[in-house]
Each structure stands twice: as structure tokens, then as C-alpha cells.
Homo-oligomer: A and B are copies of this chain.
Amino acid sequence: MSRVSLLSDLLSSLGARTWFGERAENQPVPVTELTALCAKLVRSKGEATGVRMASEILGGLRALDEAGTERFFRALAEEFSPEAPALKAAAEAYAKDPSPKTLSVLQKLAEPPRQELFRRLNLAPGGTAELVKLRERLLPLLKSDRETFAPVDLDFRHLFQSWFNRGFLVLRPIDWTTPANILEKIIRYEAVHAIDDWDALRDRLAPSDRRCFAFFHPSIPDDPLIFVEVALTRDIPASIGAVLAEDRAALPAHSTDTAVFYSISNCHKGLAGVSFGSFLIKQVASDLKDSLPNLKTFVTLSPVPGFAAWLKRLPEDVVEGFTPEEKAAIAIVADQGLAFDAEWAFETELAEEARDGLLSLAARYFLRAKRSDGQPVDPVARFHLGNGAILNRIMHLGDISPTGLSQAHGLMVNYLYDLARVEQRHEAYADGQEIAASRAVTSLLPAGAGPHSMKDVA
């Protein structure tokens, strides 16, 4: 609110001419007028004028309905792209004579005017946050007509990668003394283990053995970009239920030895593809170690979102070659129809019967199943292994929530971050897609699994 009022103050003190003239309240500005003003903004040299124009354009865009939004992005795609004839001439000139001079002309003409438009829209108070939201509205269109909209999206990403460079981000702890307007966003954005209300939030933040950290951008100080929730424990917990139990007793922080990263949430769809997660985990681990030297182990407690689906799409002949325990497990978990009321998990005997087979199947899933590009099938595994973590443990019945059962037949895993070795591991993974796993995990692989990858059929 203060930013907006600041703007209106600024505008009124500047004499407050509006670009769109008088208009009945709630009457949106037509898209053609918006794009015309965008064109004027890109060409303008008047900097103070620019602030005003940017604000009015962003205001106009906020008011657009879905159809208007699509028309606007289409106009961005068509009218704010490089000018083909001029660029063609420059390309020919460079092709004929690749010199610094022809290169410079080519570069200048190859950059879409959209980028300059976005930079100038950023002049408006609150502009950065608005642009992130604007891209969020582009993403659905991208699915329906990639060819038209991908170039627009590329320009957003190009700018965001520059603006949201790790060097500009600020790490801040989130706790029970954090302002409420930020905390309500933590409730809203939590994507892994939902927070029901403010009491639940306090249980995540206030106890002496809980921590939370978020990255912020200085221009969006009251809205986190990504945050991670951490439980300080003695030993690695065997399930998420144990971590979130309402009636547990909190431990003094200095008596713990393990930091468990049990939830990482990206907050803005509009920043898709601009990644902070790896930096966040390592920075938080490093900061925690500094302030609590008693911490020895840094692990995640992570979901296995692709396991059940992968199991389902395994060709029959492949399953044929599995061990009897594996086949038994498949029979148990498959029998139960929709996984989310999977009764087997709550019947001790059945659950116990499925254990060895499930763990063995999971070992295949993580260590042998590969996408066509050679990477692991599991997206969370790709993220953490890519960060230099090691797959440390697979836990039977680690998450018996409906989501946990339907996605992963109840499995959870730990990825362990050994700060002294993440770099080498990262490189080993990046170079050779070497899956780093503990003995506890590799020993789950059945003898007959062999050394070869299983190409995934997805």
C-alpha cells in the first residue's frame, strides 16, 4: 500500500496528467491504447514521463480480462519483436563481413524491443513484482500456442535471470517475529505440507527446534521468492509425521545434531525457470552450521513424486524379471485401487509384507531408471543430485498422507548435503550423471538388477 500511495503522491506532485484521459471507473483501457502507450514508452527519452507511463500501463494491464491479456501478449509477440527487414539486412551485412561494426549493428537489431519495454515498465513503483505477475499470466498461453508466445517468454526469462541474479538476493530468517503480511504469504505459498492456519504456522516457526529461511529481492521486500522449512532433530527422522506431530516436545537447538530440510516452496509461478533452490539450501546449511556448530548432518526429507506412476507404466515383461518380494509388493499396493485411501498402509501386517519389495523397487527407480536424456526419472532426485547431494536413505511409510500414498506408495527419502563434498559431487553428476547414493540405498538393489540403466518409457 505504501508503495502505491507513494506513487500517487509522486504523480500528483508531478502535475498528474494521465495518459489515458478520463474514463469511467472500472472501464478497462482498450488493448490497442495500451500497446500504443507501450510503443511510446519504448521510444520516449523523458525519464520522469517514463515512470508515469509505466505505472499507467501496468494499471491498465491489471484490469485486462483473459481475452484482453491474450491480445496484449499477441501484440507484444508481433509488434515488439525485432524488425525483420532491418535485421535481415544486418544479418546479411554481418554474414558478408563479420567485423565488430557489423556485429554491433546486428546485436542491436536482434534484441527485441520487448526487453527495453520490460526494463522501462520496471520504472514504475512496484514494477518488478508486477512484471513477475504479468509473466505468470503468459504461462498458460505458452501451452496453447508455444510458437507465438515463446519468444515473449524468453525475453521475460532473460531479464529475470539478470534481475534475480543470486548476487542481488537477500536471505532472511522467517520466524514468529516476522511481520504478519509476510507470514500470511508463507501460509499461502507452502506447497509441500500445507499449513492450515496461524496456529499451525506458529508450530512451524516458533519452537526452539524449528527454522525457516527465505530469499527476498530488494525491490519486493514483503514477498518471499522461495523458502525452506527446517527441523532440528537428534538423528534423521523416519517420517514426516514425526516431524510435524502436534504434540511433540521441542528440543533446545543446541542439543540437536541434524538439520532436516523438510519443505522447499517456490512462491511465484512467474519466476519459473529462474532457479534459486540450490543456492538457498547451501546458504542455509552454511549459516546454520555457523550459528549452531553442534549440527553435523544436513539432510532433506523429500517426497518421491514420480515413483507410483513409474511403477504403473513399467512394461509387463520387465516386471516379469523382478524378485518375488518386488512382485508381492506390487500386488499389494496395486490391489488397492485408488492409492489415496490405500488401506494396506494402515494394516500392519500387509504394510510389513510390502516393505522389502517396495524398497527394492525404489532402489531400481532411483539408481537404474533413466529418462531419454540419461537423467533420473524422479524430478526431486534430479534437483538434489544436481546440487551435489547424495541419496542417503529410503523410508518405508515415510509419508502416509493421501498424497504420499498416491504418488509414492508411502515412500520418502533423504538427500544428504555434505558441504565439503557437494562441489565434487555436483561435477561428477553434471559430467557423468553419476547417481551418488549411500551404501544403505545401493544395498537395496536386488542382485539381478545389473549395472545397466532402465530406459523409462514415458
Q: A160 to chain B: closest CB distance in Å?
A: 11
The answer to whether B388 and A46 touch across the interface, beta carbons within 8 angstroms, is yes
A10–B100 CB distance below 8 A: no
> What's the least CB distance linking A173 to chain B, in Å?
12
Which listed residue (B82, B92, B423) contacts A103, Cβ 8 A?
Answer: B82
Q: Complex Cα distance A310/B203, Å?
A: 48
A165-B46 contact given A15-B423, A147-B100, A218-B218, CB 8 Å threshold: no
Given the known interface contacts A15-B421, A119-B165, the answer about A179 and B178 at a Cβ–Cβ threshold of 8 Å is yes
Interface hits, A95-116 → B, CB 8 Å: 95, 98, 100, 103-104, 106-107, 110-112
B residues less than 8 Å from A14 (CB atoms): 282, 286, 419-420, 422-423
Contacting chain B: which of A25-33, A83-91, A330-338, A369-377? A83-91
Interface of chain A, helix or strand or loop or mixed? helix
Q: Which residues of B contact A15 (CB under 8 A)?
A: 419-421, 423
A363→B264 CA distance, assembly (Å): 63
In the complex, whether A124 has a CB less than 8 A from a CB of chain B is: yes
CA distance A283 to B125 in the complex (A): 12
A162 contacts the other chain (Cβ, under 8 Å)? yes
- What 0/1 pattern do residues 419 to 454 of A give for CB contact below 8 A with B? 111110011001000000000000000000000000
Q: Given A14-B423, A179-B177, verify A278-B47 contact (CB < 8 Å).
A: yes
Of B13, B91, B123, B151, which contacts A419 at CB under 8 A?
A: B13
Q: Find the B residue at minimum CB distance from A148.
A: B100
User: Considering the complex, which residues of chain A in the window 210-262 have a beta carbon less than 8 Å from any beta carbon of chain B?
Assistant: 218-219, 222
B219 touches A168 (CB 8 A): yes
Copies in the complex: 4
| CB-contacts of A57-84 with B (<8 A) | 81-82, 84
Q: A274 an interface residue at 8 Å Cβ cutoff?
A: no
**A98-B88 in contact given A13-B290, A168-B128 (Cβ < 8 Å):** yes
Chain B residues with CB under 8 A of A208:
1
Kindly identify, within residues 326 to 367 of chain A, every residue whose CB is under 8 Å from any CB belonging to chain B. none
Closest to A81 in B: B103
Within 8 A of B (CB), among A267-301: 275, 278-279, 282-283, 286, 289-290
Q: Would you call B119 and A49 a contact (CB within 8 A)?
A: no
Contact of A91 among B81, B95, B127, B151 (CB under 8 A): B95
Report whether A100 and B179 are in contact in the complex, using a CB–CB cutoff of 8 Å: no
State A176–B278 Cα separation when bound (angstroms).
Answer: 32
Q: Are B161 and A162 in contact (CB under 8 A)?
A: no
On whether the beta carbons of B161 and A279 are closer than 8 Å, the reply is no
Report Cα–Cα, A122/B422, bound state, in Å. Answer: 21
| Interface check A17, CB cutoff 8 A | yes
CA–CA, A386 to B283, complex, Å? 46
Contact A177 B222 (CB under 8 A): yes
> Is A198 among interface residues, defined by CB-CB distance under 8 A?
yes
Q: Is the CB of A290 within 8 A of B104?
A: no
How many angstroms from the CA of A341 to the CA of B100 in the assembled complex?
48
Chain B residue with the shortest CB-CB distance to A205: B180
> A122 near B167 (CB under 8 angstroms)?
yes
> Does A411 count as interface, using CB distance less than 8 angstroms?
no
A13 near B104 with CB under 8 A, answer no
Q: Tell me the complex Cα distance, A357–B407, Å.
A: 71
- Would A123 and B422 be within 8 Å (CB), given that A46-B427, A48-B279, A176-B181 are in contact? no
Further contacts, 11 of them, CB under 8 A, given A106-B110, A128-B167: A13-B290, A47-B278, A48-B422, A48-B423, A52-B423, A88-B94, A88-B98, A90-B91, A103-B110, A119-B165, A198-B198
Residues of A within 8 A of B (CB): 1, 9-10, 13-15, 17, 45-49, 51-52, 81-82, 84, 87-88, 90-92, 94-95, 98, 100, 103-104, 106-107, 110-112, 119, 122-125, 127-128, 147, 150-151, 154, 159, 161-163, 165-168, 170, 176-181, 183-184, 197-198, 202, 206, 208, 218-219, 222, 275, 278-279, 282-283, 286, 289-290, 386-388, 419-423, 426-427, 430
Q: Could you list some 17 contacts between A and B, CB below 8 A?
A: A9-B286, A13-B289, A14-B423, A45-B426, A46-B423, A47-B166, A48-B388, A49-B423, A91-B92, A106-B110, A107-B110, A119-B162, A122-B165, A163-B168, A168-B168, A176-B181, A180-B202
